[in-house]
Chain A
Amino acid sequence: MSSVLVLAEQSHGHLRKASLAALSAGRELAKRTGGKVSALVLGKGAGPAAEALAALGAEVRLADAPVLEHYLAEAYSPVVAEAARAAGATWLVAAATAQGKDLLPRAAAKLGAACATDVLGFGGQGASVLLRRPMWAGNVVAEVELTTPVKAFTIRPTEFPPPAQGAGGGVSPFPVSLDPASLRTRFVEFQEVKSERPELTEARVVVSGGRGTKGDFKEIEALADALGAAVGASRAAVDAGWVPNDWQVGQTGKVVAPELYIAAGISGAIQHVAGMKGAKVIVAVNKDPEAPIFQIADYGLVGDLFKILPELRERVKAAK
């Protein structure tokens, strides 16, 4: 029988939405492998996040200790490994967020557990269940098997539905015995990109700009605000320092799957497309009729974004 441990991520007691998808993935895996699921929440003051998970029917271990105040791989990974051993976990699951990608491989290494990144779904049943994951910027989907006794993977949150309500959840404490003096990593500061807009990976609508904006994101942002959308960007726009790093959509940035993705002044390089091809509807605005983005866009409009976006914004406003 399998035992699946889901690592949930929180900040200041708020459960991250991506972790809900991880719980769904954990439950699906447990069904396929005939096992049970539990969850682990770490962090100082993480209680409310643990309660939120328990309310969905999850059995949650909560590691709440001062040494876990700031997320650090070196501090969190031994606690995860200990909790996994205590739970007799055969599978570890986390969301492929920045934290998940930093933490899970290190915790897996402690357990000698082979690890797969960005899992999209499963194939097969039982112990030899296969994990489907993207490679080569999403040009390829691979079915991989992890051959170690304990196995681990991160999931792509956009590929799993929110978890159904379940019964029988609860929170129990998990003791943390880590000595802060043993740590060779020290948190210095976090510079938050403050925004009133929805989170990029969770937004219903995303408006993204690229090099075609020539550094002027005003029209991108104004349209996004008229739509209540999040703002994204291509690597070119981020590298130029026009917008925060955190806005990059693509193979090596964020993966989004909104209902509507509007790409303006973005050529549609495979590395960008890897991060947004899961959108339900894609709109491309580009002055080059040959731009590759038009090959994947549901609606393509050839023209100058500085002319088109304000017009579209007026339409949106008029319809309200």
Chain B
Amino acid sequence: MPLKILVTAKRVEDPESKIKVRPDGSGIVTEGVNYKMNPFDEIAVEEALRLKEKHGGEVVVASIGTDKSATEIRSALAMGADRGVLVRHDGPLDPVVVSAVLQKVVEQEKPDLVVLGKQSIDDDQNQTGQWLAERLGWPQATFASKKESLESEAEQKKQPGLGLAGDGKVLRVTREVDGGVETIDVALPAVVTTDLRLNKPRFASLPGIMKAKKKEVREVAAAALGVDLAPRVVVRRLEEPPKRKGGVRVADVAELWAKLHGEAKVL
């Protein structure tokens, strides 16, 4: 059964970038910082593409943000997604607001499955998928992973980690949880959020990048969707945490032992 899948692609600071707080604590220094698709969202896009390759269907990618977020949508289209939806909004966002906006997108697009990242690496909230699932009244499978390792043959063959069962009406999801891995079945439509071991995302090919330029990206203003855009998680102030001071180099194990045993008294 072909699947219509909605994936999300958030524009975030490159994890390799150095993040510094502005002296007045009002935000981070953005000069010299690179931006890219949230790494967990790349995994979401990859998984959606593998599901489509195996079962057929369509992959629609959505992003909420300023015009600049069109770049992340194009990145997903270059990986192979079919269409984009850019919900324009210039202002602070939080999981309450983003999930309300995504609910509207879901109502318009009517996907069988929504795949999000488990966590944005800027706000580190790990909430949006859970909020969206509740708003839609759909089951959720967060922290999706798979039993095979990222070095396995299944991964090399780009097999999806999410398994369709029950005549395509049920999705089997292996989840990374405390103390092991759990497997659950969720009836479609459902919301899934991705963890790191679900797959290794592909790089966009040159033809992929060329094709992406011609793919459709629908734009809509968040304000036109009829949702309350007032942030409910309001960041009042940012600061840099106290830095850990580097300590000393020790010459050998004997000295290390002396320090741990005699000085720090942790052994």
Known contacts A73-B130, A105-B95, A235-B196: does B186 contact A316 (CB below 8 Å)? Answer: no
Which single residue of chain A is at the shortest CB-CB distance from B130?
A105
Which size bracket describes the interface of A in this complex? 35 or more
B2-10, B65-73, B139-147, B207-215 - interface stretch: B139-147
> What string of 1s and 0s marks CB contacts (under 8 Å) between A227-260 and chain B?
1000000010011110011101001100000011
**Contact indicator B196/A246 (Cβ below 8 Å):** no
Does B206 count as interface, using CB distance less than 8 angstroms?
A: no
**Contact indicator B253/A308 (Cβ below 8 Å):** yes
Which single residue of chain B is at the shortest CB-CB distance from A102?
B142
Interface of A is mostly: mixed
Taking CB atoms, residues of chain A closer than 8 Å to B172 are 188
Known contacts A106-B134, A135-B123, A297-B247: does B261 contact A141 (CB below 8 Å)? Answer: no
> What are the 8 A-B residue pairs with the smallest beta carbon separation, nearest first?
A241-B149, A298-B247, A114-B232, A109-B134, A105-B130, A105-B127, A184-B187, A188-B183
Does A211 count as interface, using CB distance less than 8 angstroms?
A: no
> What string of 1s and 0s marks CB contacts (under 8 Å) between A256-288 and chain B?
000110000000001100000100111100000
Which single residue of chain B is at the shortest CB-CB distance from A254?
B178
For the complex, give the distance between the alpha carbons of A74 and B261 in Å.
Answer: 50
Does B119 count as interface, using CB distance less than 8 angstroms?
A: yes
Interface of B is mostly: mixed
Taking CB atoms, residues of chain A closer than 8 Å to B147 are 191
For the complex, give the distance between the alpha carbons of A168 and B64 in Å.
Answer: 49
Q: For chain A residues 5-23, which have a beta carbon within 8 Å of chain B?
A: none
Taking CB atoms, residues of chain A closer than 8 Å to B159 are none
The answer, among A134, A146, A259, for a CB contact under 8 Å with B241, is A134
Does B259 count as interface, using CB distance less than 8 angstroms?
A: yes
**Contact indicator A140/B250 (Cβ below 8 Å):** no
Does A67 count as interface, using CB distance less than 8 angstroms?
A: no
**Contact indicator A294/B264 (Cβ below 8 Å):** no
**Contact indicator A311/B150 (Cβ below 8 Å):** no
Taking CB atoms, residues of chain B closer than 8 Å to A311 are 253
Taking CB atoms, residues of chain A closer than 8 Å to B141 are 185
Taking CB atoms, residues of chain A closer than 8 Å to B235 are 142-144
Q: For chain B residues 201-259, which have a beta carbon within 8 Å of chain A?
A: 230-241, 244, 246-250, 252-254, 256-257, 259
Does B109 count as interface, using CB distance less than 8 angstroms?
A: no
Q: Which of B126, B140, B177, B233 has the most CB of A within 10 A?
A: B233
Does A110 count as interface, using CB distance less than 8 angstroms?
A: yes
For the complex, give the distance between the alpha carbons of A1 and B60 in Å.
Answer: 46
Extra A-B contacts (17), CB below 8 Å, given A241-B152, A281-B264, A298-B247: A73-B140, A99-B178, A101-B142, A115-B96, A134-B241, A135-B124, A144-B236, A146-B232, A184-B187, A185-B187, A188-B183, A191-B147, A191-B181, A244-B180, A299-B247, A299-B250, A312-B257
**Contact indicator B28/A136 (Cβ below 8 Å):** yes
**Contact indicator B124/A277 (Cβ below 8 Å):** no
For the complex, give the distance between the alpha carbons of A101 and B129 in Å.
Answer: 11
Does A163 count as interface, using CB distance less than 8 angstroms?
A: no
**Contact indicator B125/A117 (Cβ below 8 Å):** yes
For the complex, give the distance between the alpha carbons of A296 and B180 in Å.
Answer: 30
Taking CB atoms, residues of chain A closer than 8 Å to B182 are 187-191
